[in-house]
Amino acid sequence: MPSVLLHPEHWVKNYADYLYNYTIVRVNNHEIAQDLISETFLAGLKSLANFKGEAGERTWLISILKRKIIDYYRKINSAKGKAEVRFSYQSEDDEGDWLEERVSDPFDKTAEDTMENEELRLAILNCLDTLPEKQAEIFKMKTIEEKETEEICNEFNITPSNFWVIIHRARKTMAECLQKNWF
Amino acid sequence: MKFYNCEKACHICDKSQYKENTFIEKLLLQFHLVFCMVCRKYTANNNKLSLAFKKSNLKTLSLAQKQVLQERLQMEMRKQN
């Protein structure tokens, strides 16, 4: 029996944002990223029996997602009828899977999206997990989605005073958490 | 014009992170910060937090988008059971 148990019913709540951030920097398209995450969850569901419990749930889902991203690039490449281009292979004797490397290689990104930023995103997502659900949602809507205060107040049926109290608590917790884990 | 206490100063500091403070509020906050070390520290941490979010370029899925993913997953789970 695996030492780590899978809980597919909590996958969206626990891992959707993490998987989305992993995907969006690699495919740079919101709809495609969302589709790939959905396919990953469904593939995970079908492969529940293959889960050995050696890795954590999130790591296991990421490994499925990586294959999905590789498949996506293979598909668009073959659709365009393009030949495989091996940028980093100097001679015919060099072998390897460049698509695999593209997915896993942290340096195959723009300057703004370095490895450090990926670690920072992970630290922020971990800290967001420590917030109460409603507080986290409101804080994310304001800080990440940059929604108007009035819009969020209407959606959650709260007053602006309540809204700012929630934001204050969330910011305090987030700052303390990142102080411990990042700054 | 009324000077801020720490509670009000923190509130304005939070609002300023989203550029929702007025010029007068900004001015009064700066005045409060000259004399209050506790709020200066809070403001510094608050600014660091905003900078971290900006630097990370973090994206999240909206509640509605997550709902779509959840429904699709649950539909498949029902099929499996």
Minimum Cα–Cα distance from B66: chain A residue:
A12
Calculate the alpha carbon distances from A140 to A152, B1, B59, B60 in Å: 11, 34, 9, 8
Of B14, B45, B61, Cβ closest to residue A17? B61
Minimum Cα–Cα distance from A28: chain B residue:
B59
**pLDDT class for B10, splitting at 50, 70, 90?**
very high
Residue in the block written with tokens 């973090």 = B58
Task: Say yes or no to pLDDT of B68 above 60.
Answer: yes
Residue in the block written with tokens 């009000």 = B8
Interface of A with B in 41-70 (CB under 8 A): 41-42, 45
What would the pLDDT profile of A63-103 be if each residue is shown by its tens digit? 999 999 999 998 888 766 555 555 555 555 555 555 555 55
Of B20, B60, B73, Cβ closest to residue A8? B73
Rounded-to-integer distance, Cα A9 and Cα A59, Å? 17
Q: What pLDDT shows up at residue A82?
A: 56
Q: So what's the ipTM on this one?
A: 0.85
Of B14, B18, B76, Cβ closest to residue A168? B14
Q: What pLDDT shows up at residue A72?
A: 92
**pLDDT class for B19, splitting at 50, 70, 90?**
very high
Rounded-to-integer distance, Cα B3 and Cα B8, Å? 9
Distance from CA of A93 to the nearest CA of B (A): 40
The conformation of residue A82, written as its DSSP 8-state character, comes to: P
The angle at the Cα of A24, spanning A20 to A29, to the nearest 5 degrees, equals 120
| List of residues 6+ apart from A150 with CB closer than 8 A | A160
